[in-house]
Amino acid sequence: MNALRSAAAAPLLDPLALRADFPILQPGASPGPELVFLDNGASTQRPRQVLDAMTRVYEHSYANVHRGIHRLSEECTELYEQARGRVQRFVNAAEREEIIFTRGTTESLNLVARSWGEVNLRPGDEILLTLLEHHANIVPWQQAAARTGAVIRWVPLTDDGRLDLAKFSELLGPRTRLVAVAAISNVLGTVNPLVEIARQTHAAGALLAVDAAQSVPHMLTDVQELGADFLACSGHKMLGPTGIGVLYARRALLEAMPPFLGGGSMIRRVTLEGFEPAELPSKFEAGTPPIVEAIGLGAAIEYLERVGLAAIHAHELRLTQEAHALLGQIEGLRILGPAPEHKGGIVSFVVDGLHPHDAAQLLDRDGIAVRAGHHCAMPLHQHLGIPASTRASFYLYNTLDEVARLAASIAAARARFKRR
């Protein structure tokens, strides 16, 4: 995986020790059976360190940033920019100014589709997408194609839910302007070979946009080694708060792109005749930014770095292997996607005679939180010939015992519906 690095000999992670940092995971924190939270692909829980960091800002340092010359504004600005620096180091961006704060992965990808797309796409130009994509990496490009006359091409999958690289190579051509791909599928868990995809994309003269919402929280990411031109991720999927996300883009691209939103902060000068945009990163951060959320994201990154991304990835692999082993023993259950060694900590499945919504509801009665539905990936589910699936997604605080509880609860639900 190279730029999405994992260590085969990663140190063992102790999830029970880490759980003490998460108030919502403590016994009695929520009514009913002890919580087994397996909906991390949608949003993760937050450790006390993140909650405390945000509370400290509100109680001691809060003010608007970049605008005031009083003490609170200067203190809050410093904390806000420290968070940007943490993100820069976390993904190994070459410069701090290449990190743009947004509200999340969705806004980041929309920013690229609007700002870069409308300037660079022409009728007949081609955008390559894959059948694995989340709607956030489909709809903005469909909108861009409708506005510009560009054409979307789709990269198919192999039978086991991996990208068909031979077809990808065939689809790349002289009209390809951009390849947009998820680092990890939010449904199948498939880990895509981004280094090879980047190599072929750049050889064809195109740019690469990466939806890294499911990868940045789980394994080491190096945007320079990867060769990503754009990369987007969300704070709430990596122990941080909602309402904060990141767009990484190479400086040369950001310099050439027009501002996405207009208003305060993103300007250097405004006259009756027009405006001059500010320098990076302010150029793309119009209005009052998500100040405390960005600081919370910085605290989440500090927490993840202390635990170790290699250890997190290795732990999730063990959980995924156990889930495949136990769920695979249940009659009528089919796991979607590739084998554990080709996927992240996501296990989606369907059960004969048991609708995914019914499965999720029955699991919830046992205190197990999973996701049911199309997971914002309707084209993928249509390709698979199913309307919905049940998804269990793991993180650093999940345990092997929780995987066993998941399997036992699904087996019981299957038996109950089979008797009907």
Q: How far apart are CA 34 and CA 366, in angstroms?
A: 8
pLDDT confidence tier of residue 32, bands split at 50, 70 and 90? confident
Asked if the model's pLDDT at residue 1 lies above 60, the reply is no
Q: Write out the two tokens for 154.
A: 């789709």
Q: In this structure, are 276 and 346 located in the same domain? A: no
Of 346 and 29, which is predicted with more confidence?
346
Q: How many residues does the chain have?
A: 420
Q: Which residues span the domain enclosing 366? A: 9-38+309-418
In a domain, residue 132? The reply is yes
Q: How far apart are CA 150 and CA 127, in angstroms?
A: 7
Sheet of strand 176-182: strand arrangement:
99-102, 245-249, 230-234, 207-211, 176-182, 126-130, 151-155
Q: In this structure, are 298 and 315 located in the same domain? A: no
In a domain, residue 45? The reply is no
pLDDT confidence tier of residue 420, bands split at 50, 70 and 90? low
Name the domain boundary from 305, 329, 356. Answer: 305
Q: Note if 376 is an active site residue.
A: yes
Q: What is the mean pLDDT of the chain?
A: 96
pLDDT score for 68: 85
Which is the catalytic residue, given 42, 376, 386, 400? Answer: 376
pLDDT score for 291: 98
Name the domain boundary from 263, 281, 305. Answer: 305
pLDDT confidence tier of residue 11, bands split at 50, 70 and 90? confident
CATH of residue 318's domain is 3.90.1150.10
Which tens digit of pLDDT belongs to each residue from 65-105?
998 899 999 999 999 999 999 999 999 999 999 999 999 99
pLDDT score for 260: 95
Q: In this structure, are 111 and 255 located in the same domain? A: yes
Note whether 210 and 230 are within 8 A (CB).
yes
| Residues 405-416, mean pLDDT to the nearest whole number | 94
Note whether 115 and 285 are within 8 A (CB).
no
Q: Structural domain tally of the chain?
A: 2
pLDDT score for 301: 98
Which tens digit of pLDDT belongs to each residue from 304-346?
999 999 999 999 999 999 999 999 999 999 999 999 999 999 9
Sheet of strand 346-351: strand arrangement:
333-335, 346-351, 389-393, 371-373
